[in-house]
Amino acid sequence: MSVLDESVAPAEKSHKLWGGRFGAGPTPEFDALNNSIGIDFRLWPYDIRLSRAWAVALWGASVLTLEESRAIEQGLDAVGARLAAGEAPIATDEDVHTLIDRLLHDEVGDVASRLHTGRSRNDQVATATRLWTMDACQRLDHAVRTLQGVMIAQAETIETALMPSYTHLQRAIPVSGAHWLLSHFWPLERDRARLKAGARSAAVLPLGSGAVAGCAYPISRVLLQGTLGFDALSQNSIDAVSDRDFIAEVLFASTMIGTHLSRLAEDLIIYGSSEFGFVQFGEGYTSGSSMMPQKRNPDALELARGSAARMLGNLTTLLATLKGLPSSYNKDLQDDKRVLFDATDTLLLVLPAVAGALAECTFRTDRMQAALSSTMMATDLADYLVRKGATFREAHGAVGRLVRESEQTGREMQDIPFASFAAAHPLFTDDVYESLSAAQSVAQREVEGGTGPSAVRAQIEQARTALLPPPTPRSNSVV
């Protein structure tokens, strides 16, 4: 008996999956720390699914009679219906598994006590979390695709608009507006591949691993795998109950999505400032200022940028949790769901908001065009000399001198007299002024992945193709 035990309820008073070897029940302080129902409640549909499959597996292993197995399955359906109808957990429910066990006892009585044969919450929670993650990856994929669809639609509105590209946030070379916007499309495409890989890692079934050493009854894990829609069976029960690599992978994918959204948001926020003026924000995803009547603030984009920090925090939290754990299940792992759910919830809020904010942006193509200064064609001028036989280094030096003249005299390049061009390099002839147009500059860059008009058209088509649903596998793939 502990010195703190005055208020402790005996173990029998609450529905517990353990407690037999304990004289007194846990302290309220322990319960407050230990109970995870507030976090893992949302796993209930998955826990019911795997429990139904487990009831059948136990029948297959002759642990349950057909009647018992059926009674448990029906009971689990009834529990599912109650939870779907809004039944809430009670204070003594330690976690979602305990809650479902309690409700199942409510529905079918003592036979419910047979369901927890040969399994542990260790393989149970790992299985439920994997099922949840497999679904979450699909929901995330859908939300990312929706944003990518908006990107393509908006890119088409600025396909022929020219704007500066930037390196070091300094004006670099003219590009098509679509080329800039689609530079944010492809990172998300890579993220979708990462999500898919995360879902594949999640699709390995731990059920049948028991607490740590494997189930002592001859259940068919292969049947469980098929019923529950997993791709493979875990190979080692000690590893299986503590493998959270799939969560780390999904959190990494989420962190990358967060990072990519943050960079898109940052571009839009900068381009939406009066100084740039390339983008005009709509009203659906912005807010005003309580003091400055003129303000329209891009809050949704700023929140998206900020949320990337939380995503990264979630990833590092999980990795830090995993790194020092001894093998097999340890209670530290209970907190895996906190970070997984937070990252997913956050992205499912942020992705539609960014899609909406982008959809209602208007691009000011006049402002984009006006930001193109002739010194941005300096690389084209150097290329002009190279095409006429100069080395690039020599050309670079000659054009540099002309840029200096442009800066010193405050003249655009096309206003510099031909004599200066001729003095800078003998290979300049008076057709040089043609290579000073942004349209000409862009037109030179028809290389795959470049900003030339045909290359950008092809890129838009490739982006569209990337969003097509994957071909459905042929049902009879055996040859």
Question: Would you name the residues annotated as active-site residues?
Answer: 168, 289
Stretch that binds ligand ARG, among 67-75, 199-207, 328-336, 368-376 (CB under 6 A): 328-336
H-run or E-run covering 175: strand 170-176
Tokens of 441: 């500059």
Question: Is the CA virtual torsion 219, 223, 229, 235 positive or negative?
Answer: positive
Closer CB to ligand ARG, 90 or 443, in the complex: 90
The CA distance from 61 to 63, in Å, is 5
Burial per residue of 89-122, b for 16 or more beta-carbon CB atoms within 10 angstroms, e otherwise? beebbbbbbbbbbbbbbebbeebbebbbbbbbbb
Q: Indicate which single residue of 14, 334, 374, 435 sits in contact with ligand ARG (rule: CB under 6 A).
A: 334
Q: How close are the terminal C-alpha atoms of the chain, in Å?
A: 68
Q: Indicate which single residue of 54, 230, 271, 329 sits in contact with ligand ARG (rule: CB under 6 A).
A: 329
Closer CB to ligand ARG, 122 or 148, in the complex: 122
Q: Indicate which single residue of 125, 134, 173, 311 sits in contact with ligand ARG (rule: CB under 6 A).
A: 125
Nearest approach, Cβ of 128 to ligand ARG (angstroms)?
9
User: Binding mask 223-242 vs ligand ARG (x if CB under 6 A, - otherwise)?
Assistant: --------------------
SS3 176: strand
Closer CB to ligand ARG, 40 or 243, in the complex: 40
Closer CB to ligand ARG, 205 or 399, in the complex: 205
H-run or E-run covering 203: none
The CA distance from 67 to 60, in Å, is 12
Tell me the angle at which helices 245-271 and 121-157 cross, rounded to the nearest 10 degrees: 20
Largest CA distance in the chain: 100
Closer CB to ligand ARG, 133 or 334, in the complex: 334
Question: Is the CA virtual torsion 206, 208, 214, 219 positive or negative?
Answer: negative
Nearest approach, Cβ of 36 to ligand ARG (angstroms)?
4
Nearest approach, Cβ of 129 to ligand ARG (angstroms)?
8
Nearest approach, Cβ of 192 to ligand ARG (angstroms)?
28
SS3 164: strand
Residue with tokens 């503590």: 242
Residue 414 per-residue DSSP state: G
Stretch that binds ligand ARG, among 64-72, 280-288, 329-337, 388-396 (CB under 6 A): 329-337
Closer CB to ligand ARG, 68 or 123, in the complex: 123
Cβ atoms of 460 and 155 within 8 Å: the answer is: yes
The CA distance from 315 to 320, in Å, is 9
Closer CB to ligand ARG, 121 or 194, in the complex: 121
Helix-strand-coil split of the chain, %, nearest 5: 65, 5, 30
Nearest approach, Cβ of 231 to ligand ARG (angstroms)?
23
Stretch that binds ligand ARG, among 83-91, 119-127, 155-163, 299-307 (CB under 6 A): 119-127
User: Binding mask 76-95 vs ligand ARG (x if CB under 6 A, - otherwise)?
Assistant: -------------------x
At position 402, the amino acid (one-letter code) is L
Residue 8 per-residue DSSP state: P
- 162-167 and 279-280 strand pairing: unpaired
H-run or E-run covering 186: helix 185-202
**Number of amino acids touching ligand ARG (CB under 6 A):** 9
Stretch that binds ligand ARG, among 118-126, 219-227, 348-356, 455-463 (CB under 6 A): 118-126
Q: Indicate which single residue of 58, 115, 162, 333 sits in contact with ligand ARG (rule: CB under 6 A).
A: 333
Nearest approach, Cβ of 321 to ligand ARG (angstroms)?
12
Closer CB to ligand ARG, 255 or 334, in the complex: 334
Nearest approach, Cβ of 38 to ligand ARG (angstroms)?
11
How many CB atoms are located within 10 Å of the residue 381 CB?
27
Q: Does 122 bind ligand ARG (CB under 6 A)?
A: yes
Residue 167: strand pairing partners? 170
Residue with tokens 């006892």: 105
Closer CB to ligand ARG, 69 or 122, in the complex: 122
Stretch that binds ligand ARG, among 64-72, 121-129, 144-152, 214-222 (CB under 6 A): 121-129
Q: Report the interface residues with ligand ARG, using CB under 6 A.
A: 36, 40, 95, 121-122, 125, 329, 333-334
